[in-house]
Structure 1
């Protein structure tokens, strides 16, 4: 997947996010979508905020990495968008409150799942086109 040139963007600050029960720092979390255990460390991002397999997330952030949102609803991958520098972002939609957010892709995200998201508008246009 296309990534920004590291020399043209500001590096992300280190995050001190607490994931474990009771607020301690954990090393993995269980995906709300596919129920797989997901490691927190991800190539290409300073903090993991979605499952690399099904791209689902949990609505826990008000701003990236703060874990202060009270919604805690399941966020499904709705689409992808691309920044000016070529960096891909996943657009998530919260199933509980309806909120939208964008999250940077990680280096270990499922490339097939990302391509399915990217191709969704073309597939939908073909399905809704009149036959003839």
Structure 2
């Protein structure tokens, strides 16, 4: 059986750029969820600065103090801990950074998974220690 030889460099066909294959239809500010790997659009009903996944509610630590400033250097994964409501009735999600333990709150968006929000709202009834730690840290 004859041995295959590698083609010379000038005989090889050049590869296409990866953006030709993978970036079709994606906008610059859209992101991929760190939890469920869903491609998420930053345009969301009910919020101007989306930084969490509407499906699994996971987030990245991107904002420092002002929503949308994207000034945090941590960039750690943030886990959704709980939900609470403001006096005007608006729902907020409490996230905790798994890298630096900082807590932050984000407005829910109109297209967030309702089942995931209800599960998050009922979580304090399962684990009362976690709920009290969250409230003490706020």
Structure of greater Rg: 2
Provide the residue aligned with 2:43 in structure 1: 41
CA–CA distance in 2 between the matches of 1:36 and 1:47? 18
CA–CA distance in 1 between the matches of 2:38 and 2:112? 14
RMSD: 1.2
Unaligned runs of 5+ in 1: 1-24, 126-132
Q: Deviations over 1:18-70 (max 9, x none)?
A: xxxxxxx7142100111110011000111211000000000011121001100
Q: CA deviation at 1:118?
A: 0.3
CA–CA distance in 2 between the matches of 1:79 and 1:67? 22
Provide the residue aligned with 1:15 in structure 2: none
Unaligned runs of 5+ in 2: 1-26, 129-138
Provide the secondary structure at the position in 1 that maps to 2:127: helix
Give the TM-score normalised by structure 1: 0.73
Number of aligned pairs? 101
Mapping of residues 1-132 of structure 1, within 5 Å: 26-62=28-64, 63-124=66-127
* Structure with a larger share of its residues in helix: 2
